[in-house]
Structure 1
């Protein structure tokens, strides 16, 4: 059975009147002010009905409308809309449909357009694709017809910045007890780390926990497309990329931010996700004395990292040989994560080496399907280099 959202019964005229009142106020409206405004415009309602009405109106004004309750559910990481009655969520065990009725195709389109506007992006027939960050940090990707052949599509990624200690990741099974000391030693020895994995494997969570191990007197400069990292550390400086506005100006991309970060006296430079030409600036920085840096990268296995880096290097004008020379000296270790049956875990620790001029990632530790952590032939040299047993 498909249920309509509780706010679907809100009178659109009421929402319009509240929006006009809020616009005239010219500032952020508090919960108390919104309650007073709704009570004045809606007439006499009971306290319980007023609470539901205010929640619905706020969701229509500043939130994701009928999708807002899903975004606020604990454990939800993604909300996807394929059509008026095709809504899916990921609660950590893969995508599953939810019984939500958004009305009709026009309502889905209107919601996509409003969300894009809230993120400062244009979405219409002339610009049918939008990639934005909503005021609460939620990532939005929206596509309109004719690019989306069957109707407007909405993809929302929920960001819940939260700091997890390495001990808590061990307790949850994300990091094996035998692997935790290895990660601690790599951070203490200022190794340059690349955290790899597919989407939703917990790369950002692990990176945040590793940054929490950085000595308290060091300055960390984090560069991200969206503010996801939340390390438990007293000296973190955050730089967040900015997209062009509706006029197509004002963009500040990751490449620019990496260059600026190098001038900010960082002890550690951290790139939230390496996904484009900024790889050249990151490798250059790590090769010029900025050790102890970290980044994440999308890859299905640790052994796929060289190919992924080569593809990104090509975007920056680096040929295969140049990329290999830079990466071999700039990167020391790869920590690869996997997600099996909803469980995120560190599956491999590998070292970055050059074999005949070719960039290679060589696994030194692996956790098998039974949970055992096994040492590979390269472990002895890797351990000796970083002062491990």
Structure 2
């Protein structure tokens, strides 16, 4: 047994004898580890035990093993790491700058299972043969997803997605270089005017971060209700209630679906409603809320703004046979005002690809759309030919839509110059 393993064994024995709960008595655990490490170093100096090369590192790893996530904890503490996943105990990957790396971390099957059980303890969610999938939030805010055999072929598949974004306002996205001041001013005014906004993009394109930044423009006196599968938005709005779904229990009852959350949210006197992501029939409830005059925002996976609109017209059809395209398409056209589409480049940089407006008109089953902002051939986000059909709503919120939509050239003359910021790194978006 090497020196570090011997120290860890002694610390575990001390924890057991003193009855310390590592998950709740963190300060007592740290004091115990410091005491055991100092005692070990004294004995090593006397030649009684093998010397430690780095006593501080050995002590920190002991704390991680007992109270943290063991060998995975260092990746959660590393700000450059965006995501951690295990395809097998001996194959642990991390993502940095949008690119995967195979680490040198090796785990045992039982060690990985113990870590997952520890991660799930605080969430109250379960993982067994009856429920082989789990989606949960770690105490630090990271999102955990686990799949076990027989759904996977042999090993547990574990994914931990970190939320490293520091963007709480669209101005933060401007600073990161993912959005221009012109487009940011337009989006802030659109939120304050109460427009209904969809945020679309691929996985890891930054959709949650964009919704969080847009929510920063919601007037302080408004009540916000959020509905999510797992808490991710973490809004800082003063009057905000966050709700998440719940899986069924062992008897198969007690499930709280996203559709149920949306319906309950409508009974909570909301001024705004945010849905973390629509994937299925809850899209119908979102449309009904939007169409009832409740300003709402949501995210969904899509490859373009146009495809996002097509998808939001398709998902409500999953709600039942009595829901038809003849109802959904015109409802989408009249309810959804803007689509903000995000792009994840091959280098891992996130940026706003386009901001499109819906005119409210439908021609031959196709909803008319126009680009308010779009990327030109040089990759710059520039003013497009489109405009939202809601000038009076901007006016009520104290904004002049025509002024907001002046061309980039005019905008540069009417606003202070802004030095270009570097492109947003992938670790700055979630």
Settle same-fold status: TM greater than 0.5: yes
Separation in structure 2 between the aligned mates of residue 112 and residue 10 of structure 1, nearest angstrom: 24
Structure 1 residues 262 and 22: CA distance shift in structure 2, 3 A: farther
Q: Is the 8 A contact 2:169 2:215 kept in 1?
A: no
Q: Is the 8 A contact 1:120 1:246 kept in 2?
A: no
Separation in structure 2 between the aligned mates of residue 178 and residue 185 of structure 1, nearest angstrom: 11
Aligned residue number for residue 3 of structure 1: none
More moved, 7-16 vs 168-177:
7-16
Aligned residue number for residue 355 of structure 1: 363
Alignment of 1:1-389 (within 5 A): 11=8, 15=12, 18=15, 28-31=24-27, 33-38=28-33, 44-46=39-41, 52=57, 55-102=60-107, 104-125=108-129, 127-160=131-164, 162-245=166-249, 248-291=252-295, 293-317=296-320, 318-340=323-345, 341-352=347-358, 353=360, 354-359=362-367, 361-377=369-385, 379=386, 382=389, 387-388=401-402, 389=405
Deviations, residues 203-224 of structure 1 (Å, cap 9, x unaligned): 1112112111122222222222
Separation in structure 2 between the aligned mates of residue 229 and residue 190 of structure 1, nearest angstrom: 19
In structure 1, runs of 5+ residues without a counterpart are: 1-5
Q: How many residues align?
A: 379
Q: Is the 8 A contact 1:83 1:108 kept in 2?
A: no
Structure 1 residues 303 and 106: CA distance shift in structure 2, 3 A: same
Separation in structure 2 between the aligned mates of residue 107 and residue 322 of structure 1, nearest angstrom: 53
Deviations, residues 85-125 of structure 1 (Å, cap 9, x unaligned): 321112232222222122x3443344344434554333345
Q: Could you state the TM-score of these two structures normalised by the residue count of structure 1?
A: 0.84
Displacement of 1:272 in angstroms is 1.8
Separation in structure 2 between the aligned mates of residue 277 and residue 208 of structure 1, nearest angstrom: 23
In structure 2, runs of 5+ residues without a counterpart are: 43-51, 395-400, 406-430
SS of residue matched to 1:100:
coil
Q: Is the 8 A contact 2:99 2:348 kept in 1?
A: yes
Displacement of 1:307 in angstroms is 3.1
Q: Is the 8 A contact 1:197 1:297 kept in 2?
A: yes
Separation in structure 1 between the aligned mates of residue 250 and residue 29 of structure 2, nearest angstrom: 29
Aligned-pair Cα RMSD in Å: 3.3
Between the two structures, name the one with larger relative contact order (CA 8 Å, sep ≥ 6): 2
Structure 1 residues 259 and 126: CA distance shift in structure 2, 3 A: closer
Q: Could you state the TM-score of these two structures normalised by the residue count of structure 2?
A: 0.77
Higher Rg: 2
Q: Is the 8 A contact 1:302 1:361 kept in 2?
A: no
SS of residue matched to 1:120:
coil
